[in-house]
Structure 1
Amino acid sequence: MRRSVVFSFVAEIGASLSMFLTFRLASEFWGVAGFAEWVMARRLMAFIVPVITMGMDVGLTRA
């Protein structure tokens, strides 16, 4: 149990660090406007994908 908790914690730290690195690199390479477009597209996809997935789930159960 303890080993899995430690592994999960380390994995979460790694994911967070990679996110910060990705954001930093994107802001450096794309500039302010490109970075803003990327962040807005990322937020839009984070909103749309669960809605589409729920719709597919309902559609598959009715088929």
Structure 2
Amino acid sequence: MPLEAPLLSVHAAVVFLAAVIIDLVIGHLMFLHDKSLTAAVAAGLVAAGGCAPVLHKLIG
């Protein structure tokens, strides 16, 4: 039986996992600061999007 290629490489999975963890931490801290769910979600998404390229360079 031929082996299937993985959907994501290990490198990509680690980068995405680290970005999600940073996203959750920043979102939680923002929620504790402002008590606004929308601000927390926006800050978390911006943090995850901003750190993904940096993590890609650092981890790879």
TM range (shorter): 0.3 to 0.5
Q: Which has the higher helix share?
A: 1
Higher RCO, Cα 8 Å, sep 6+:
2
Calculate the TM-score normalised by the size of structure 1.
Answer: 0.45
- Structure with the greater alpha carbon radius of gyration: 1
